[in-house]
Structure 1
């Protein structure tokens, strides 16, 4: 497919060539933001991260994102070593260093740090965590609705790798994305262990049937902050929203479908497995939810 698009597709911005990155307490030019090959994140994918978005000088839902980061760090027994307020200061300092006021995206990453030897055991990480903030000027650009393809890669059980964790170990999702692209789609639609529709490789997934908004139970997907905001907006504005099991059959005959994520907010889906969803364009309920969400983040 020659017109591949991505849920993280953004306009080109020359300012991103001269970015400054926050790395372990220092703000340095992008070319100098280097991490050791012995770092746990590079070597093993051992770490957690958050994505945040800047709207009109404010990082949307920053407290909730940082709370989720600390919860994930505790879950993998990783000590961040900075307080919530110190991380927030690092974020705003990096924003100021890059002259950013709006339409920016930050990726805040914490790994278990540099290892003394190149092996798995976490006790080999003895120097403390590696913390980095990558920040980019980033205005989403989506020339058409997203095309999805169902893939064999599943969102699994929490005792294997809990899919609710924003972990650096994303290989399962990467393989799903590769499979979708080889099938001629933009992103992968992933099922849960019971065969119900769950999420995509990068975003939470919703369908709309007869005016009702459906998403998965949440048992096997990232506990998305944008996902929860959409559910809250539905319930506050008279839109029926259900967290439930549903199948591909329900998706193919849906009136609308969309994805949620920090970067793209609400991204319309035009096709699933070659079936056109609704008109193939953004539907009225999705458009209304986008307007409600925009009003929420700009309030």
Structure 2
């Protein structure tokens, strides 16, 4: 799996923030009437901690609050308040390195099991789960499988919204797992490559870096950083429509995400990608790690 991590016994004693109050892991709970549990009515962010700081935090907050505004959440705490809770939770746990945070915001509790937001009776529910998670290194690369589940049009489910409603991605993940792959490669409604079920997808062809148009995938934070770094490195970047034929004939391929950064792709649909050399990805990994250090200086 692309999100494999090393088990860490310290996670058994972590403190989790639920609406500003800290609870031991076993006692951290939300109501069965919570909008997130009941209907998947929420937005979330995955964050990493490096040298006691959270890289690209402002970009993550921009995406979180844009999602909350899209879903028309009422009585949202301020941006500064949520950031203060994040840091307070890390401090209470004594966490400074090798930590992944899941920040979740739902509409709040409802008075009855019903989808209409007007039955919401509390402010948004906010949960912060920090865990020690060291990604398992996939040096040889991961294997992807192209699934039948598509990334759809925004009038059906806007892929820009990082919502709790991830059923399409879960269905894609199930199909890829049943095929023996690590992650699903998903196409857009026109049959072009869009993204993966939980990461973003890049290929390298003749020294150029290609990724999808971005019209049918989440506005990934790491994806955006990689595009910026590639331009700074003098690498030609193309956000464009491309097909599986382009993928199978690529010289390199890799996926990106907040959790593991950049991970090489070994094969797609049992077609080996390239000959094993990954010069473009290696340059970008070096630049990415340097950018994170700079962010957390």
Pick from 132, 143, 163 the counterpart of residue 167 of structure 1: 163
Q: Secondary structure at the match of 2:109?
A: coil
**TM-score in terms of structure 1 length:** 0.96
Aligned residues between the structures: 293
Indicate the residue corresponding to 1:273 in structure 2.
Answer: 269
Pick from 236, 244, 259 the counterpart of residue 263 of structure 1: 259
Indicate the residue corresponding to 1:103 in structure 2.
Answer: 98
Aligned partners of 1:154 and 1:190 also within 8 Å? yes
Matches of 1:95 and 1:80, distance apart in 2: 25
Shift of 1:278: 1.0
**Residue ranges of structure 1 left out of the alignment (5+ in a row):** 1-5
Shift of 1:204: 0.8
Q: Secondary structure at the match of 1:158?
A: coil
**TM-score in terms of structure 2 length:** 0.97
CA displacement, residues 190-242 of structure 1 (integer Å, 9 cap, x when unaligned): 00001000100001110000110000000000000100100000111111111
Matches of 1:266 and 1:236, distance apart in 2: 17
Pick from 165, 172, 176 the counterpart of residue 180 of structure 1: 176
Matches of 1:31 and 1:44, distance apart in 2: 23
Shift of 1:79: 2.9
Matches of 2:52 and 2:252, distance apart in 1: 32
Q: Secondary structure at the match of 2:104?
A: strand
- Alignment partner of 1:229 is 2:219: no
Aligned partners of 1:269 and 1:282 also within 8 Å? no
Aligned partners of 1:226 and 1:260 also within 8 Å? yes
State how 1:29-178 maps to structure 2 within 5 Å: 29-79=24-74, 81-143=76-138, 144-178=140-174
Matches of 1:12 and 1:229, distance apart in 2: 28
**Residue ranges of structure 2 left out of the alignment (5+ in a row):** none
Shift of 1:80: 5.3
Matches of 2:92 and 2:266, distance apart in 1: 39
Matches of 2:248 and 2:215, distance apart in 1: 22
Cα RMSD (Å) of the superposition?
1.0
4+ residue runs over 6 A deviation: none
Indicate the residue corresponding to 2:202 in structure 1.
Answer: 206
Aligned partners of 1:48 and 1:69 also within 8 Å? yes
